[in-house]
Amino acid sequence: MATPRTRWLFAGQLGPLFDDGGPILLVEARSVFARRPMHRAKAHLILSAMRHRVRELGDRVEYRQVDRFDEVVDGRDDLEVIDPTSWAARRFVRERGMRVLPSRGFITSEADFRDWADSRGGKRLLMEDFYRTVRERTGLLMEGAAPVGGQWNYDHDNREPPPKGAARLGLPDPWWPVEDDIDEQARADLDRWERDGLITLVGDDGPRRFAATADEARRALDDFVESRLMDFGPFEDATLSGDWTMAHSLLSAPMNLGLLDPRIVVDEAVAAYDRGDAPLSSVEGFVRQIAGWRDYMWHLYWYLGESYPTDHNALEATEPLPEAFVQLDPDRIEANCLSETVDGLRRHGWAHHIQRLMVLGNWSLQRGYDPLELNHWFTGMFVDGTPWVMPANVIGMSQHADGGIVATKPYAAGGAYINRMSDYCGGCRFDPKVRLGENACPFTAGYWAFLDRNQQRLAGNSRMRRPLAGLRGLSDLEVVVDQERRRDTW
Ligand code: FAD
Ligand code: SF4
């Protein structure tokens, strides 16, 4: 009988879904941490998850700690891989002739997406249409051919502002992992590598907040379903300064590490609805995030091609990232919404979707930061950042650098949106209603300056007709634009 191949597992493949029982190779390559500055909490989480997996696998694993992957895998002909999650890794394994199995870790397969995209001739690949096809094919939240409850989408029941006057949503604290000797060693190793000048780390490495094992991920999932899922929908887009997790699941990191099967995650949410423990609007909203958005972004990574991030800069944005971003230093920022978000990111290596899209992304879009640089920054600074998840989210959705392939219009908004959906403005030295003068909100004024700078580029976009008409009606536009050009405090 032929000896079984050794399966080389990558850092996104650390859970049971990627293990079929044979011998395993895990390689901890220090070069991965040295490519660009990385958040401490992220480096810690990856090391911790990998080393916990090594301990779990015991004799079945060959564990190597080296500088570069090729030191271990070059010259070997016994390796197989589950198709890895980046263009670079896929090239690496193919160049070495390894056996490649189809990717796992998503609700739909890459072949499913290709069929769907081909069936539309590669045109109008809208998330909403993809999501409905996924529901139909998987039977998730379906009654025969119809969506449960008669509607595909419950967005109108969701997306409420935060409760007035509340400092927190009032939900129980999420379940937190308890650190062990592996975490302690991971932290010590990272400190040493940093001291030796081998890696650059940013941000705090407070207590580890994200699951590093499949067991921990399961506990985090159960806790979310029990105590926060019911409020997920209504407060999906809301922000409170005193409540960093709101009703979010914190499951992106364990899912992206491969510790948690997304199909199990959505099945558990649907089971909560079936038991009457969570309303349909919240459950559908959550299922949409995973079976819709997460799978869609994954497939777009391959569909849009390896050069998508470097090929696109439709708004010709070239500003370098400010030190406040690079160093995760909230003290350099006066705008309360931005300062609080950067502070949360510094502490946890995580921010929720609206902070990513409507605070960090919106600000970067308005200020014309280089989209590729921003893409790298997001990848390094977020515990759940991976090469596959970022391009469609950052280059496409948040920076509109692809000219409208992923999102039909730029996610640009002034202070009024932030004021409606958060409690940030009350504690800010700027005023969201003011666009000129000392108190002018840099988001409100920045919004008009952004539109002014890009009006030619956006003129053909029918969804931008109204904002551009608003721009032309501003009597003080020239002074506002000039003010923002000179702005040195924000
Ligand atoms: P929840 O709010 O509880 O949502 C549930 C799950 O839905 C998430 O865990 C995630 O797996 C999935 N999801 C929802 N939206 C998206 C999306 N647009 N793309 C991919 N998955 C989605 N997600 C990442 O996994 N890694 C990232 O590095 C990342 N960076 C982002 C950067 C920007 C600029 C934007 C706009 C979005 C980004 N997202 C990223 C998507 C989303 O913001 C995060 O998945 C979410 O905030 C993670 O927190 P959570 O697990 O509590 O999510
Ligand atoms: Fe942010 Fe403007 Fe509100 Fe201040 S006033 S918190 S800068 S939106």
Based on the structure, what is the number of domains in the chain? Answer: 3
Q: Is 138 exposed, middle or buried (0-12, 13-18, 19+ CB in 10 A)?
A: middle
Whether the CB-CB separation of 309 and 372 falls below 8 Å is answered with yes
Same domain, 240 and 375: no
Using the predicted structure, report yes or no on whether residue 124 has a pLDDT greater than 90.
Answer: no
Looking at residue 4, its pLDDT comes to 83
Q: Residue 405 belongs to what domain range?
A: 308-486
pLDDT for position 157: 85
Same-domain check for residues 297 and 283: yes
Query: Do 312 and 384 lie in a common domain?
Result: yes
Six-digit token string for 402: 């692809």
Is the distance from CB of 103 to CB of 12 less than 8 angstroms? no
Query: Is residue 202 domain-resident?
Result: no
- 212 occurs within a structural domain: no
Structure confidence at residue 123 (pLDDT)? 79
338, 382: one domain: yes
3-state secondary structure of 193: helix
- In this prediction, residues 171-199 reach a mean pLDDT of 97
- Residue 429 CA: nearest ligand 2 atom is 4
Q: Are residues 269 and 382 in the same domain?
A: no
pLDDT score recorded for residue 343: 98
Q: Given this model, what pLDDT does residue 42 score?
A: 98
Q: Are residues 272 and 157 in the same domain?
A: yes
| Residue 259 pLDDT greater than 90, yes or no | yes
Query: Which ligand is closest in space to the CA of residue 363?
Result: 2
Enumerate long-range contacts of 122-131, CB under 8 Å, 24 or more apart. 125/300, 125/303, 127/292, 127/293, 127/296, 128/152, 128/153, 128/292, 130/292, 130/295, 130/296, 130/299, 131/288, 131/291, 131/292, 131/293, 131/296
Give me the half-sphere count of Cα atoms (radius 13 Å) on the Cβ side of residue 301. Answer: 20
Average pLDDT score, the chain? 96
Indicate which ligand has the atom closest to the C-alpha of 334.
Answer: 2
Residue 121 confidence (pLDDT): 84
Ligand 1 proximal residues by C-beta, below 6 Å: 248-252, 255-256, 289-290, 293-294, 297, 352-353, 356-357, 361, 378, 382, 384-385, 389-390, 393-394, 397-398
Atom of ligand 2 nearest to the CA of 418: 8
DSSP secondary-structure letter at 181?
Answer: H
Ligand 1: which residue has its CA nearest to atom 46?
353
CATH number at residue 125: 1.25.40.80
pLDDT reading at 125 higher than 90: no
What is the per-residue pLDDT across 261-302, written as a single tens digit (0 to 9) for each?
Answer: 999 999 999 999 999 999 999 999 999 999 999 999 999 999
HSE, side-chain direction, 13 A CA sphere, residue 21: 0
**Do 335 and 297 belong together in one domain?**
no
Segment 147-170 shows an average pLDDT of 93
Ligand of minimum distance to the alpha carbon of 217: 1
pLDDT band of residue 144 (cuts 50, 70, 90) is: very high
Q: Residue with structure tokens 């079984």?
A: 4
pLDDT tens digits, 474-485: 999 999 999 999
pLDDT at 444 over 90: yes
Residue 81 sits at φ, ψ, to 5 deg, of: -135, 155
Residues 134 and 60 in one domain: no
Q: Is residue 428 part of a domain?
A: yes
Residue 359 falls inside a structural domain? yes
Closest residue (by CA) to atom 52 of ligand 1?
Answer: 250
> Does residue 127 form part of some domain?
yes
The per-residue pLDDT for 234 is: 95
Cα–Cα distances in Å, from 466 out to 19, 427, 458?
53, 31, 11
- Ligand 2 centroid to Cα of residue 3, in Å, is 63
**CA 265, CA 105: separation in Å to the nearest integer?**
11
- Is the dihedral angle over the CA atoms 466, 467, 472, 473 positive or is it negative? positive
**2: pLDDT strictly greater than 90:** no
Boundary residue ending a domain (280, 303, 326) = 303
Tokens at 77, concatenated: 């002909």
Note whether residue 221 is domain-resident. no
pLDDT of residue 58: 97
Let me know whether 382 and 248 are in one domain. no
Write the burial class of residue 176 (CB in 10 Å: 0-12 exposed, 13-18 middle, 19+ buried): middle
What's the CATH code of the domain at 376?
Answer: 1.10.579.10
Question: What six digits make up the tokens of 339?
Answer: 């300062």
Spell 383-415 as b/e; 16+ CB within 10 A means b. bbbbbbbbbbbbbbbbbbbbeebbbeebebbbb
Rounded average pLDDT over 33-51: 97
Q: pTM for the full model?
A: 0.97
Q: Are 403 and 448 in contact (CB under 8 A)?
A: no
DSSP-derived letter for residue 352 is -
* pLDDT greater than 70 at residue 1: no
Question: What average pLDDT score do residues 232-250 get?
Answer: 97
- Domain annotation covers residue 217: no
Tokens representing 64 are 């190597």
- Between the CA of residue 171 and those of 67, 168, 249, 300, 428, what are the distances in Å? 44, 8, 12, 35, 26
Where does a domain end: 76, 101, 126?
101
User: Using H for helix, E for strand and C for coil, what is the string for 401-448?
Assistant: CCCCCCCCCCCCCCHHHHHHHECCHHHCCCECCCCCCCCECHHHHHHH
> Which residues are within 8 A (CB) of 448 and not within 5 positions of it... i.e. 6 or more apart?
414, 435, 471, 474, 477, 480, 481, 484
- Does residue 178 come out as left (phi exceeding 0), alpha (psi in the -120 to 50 range) or beta? beta
Kindly state whether residues 377 and 453 are assigned to the same domain.
Answer: yes
Residue with CA nearest ligand 2 atom 1:
337
Integer Cα distance of 338 and 360 in angstroms: 7
Tell me, in angstroms, the distance from the centre of ligand 1 to residue 382's CA: 10
Q: What's at 199, amino acid-wise?
A: I
Distance of alpha carbon 63 from alpha carbon 60, whole angstroms: 10
Identify the band that residue 127 occupies on the pLDDT scale cut at 50, 70 and 90. very high
Strand partners, 369: 319
88: domain CATH number is 3.40.50.620
CB atoms inside a 10 Å sphere around CB 118: 9
Last residue of a domain, one of 286, 303, 320: 303
CA pair distance 73, 78, nearest whole angstrom: 9
CA 293 to ligand 1 center in whole angstroms: 8
CB 40 within 8 A of CB 204: yes
Domain-embedded: residue 180:
no
Query: Do residues 133 and 246 both lie within one domain?
Result: yes
In angstroms, what is the span from residue 134 Cα to ligand 1's centroid? Answer: 19
Q: What ligand is nearest to the CA atom of residue 336?
A: 2
Q: Are residues 350 and 476 in the same domain?
A: yes
The pLDDT-based confidence of 319 (bands split at 50, 70, 90) is very high
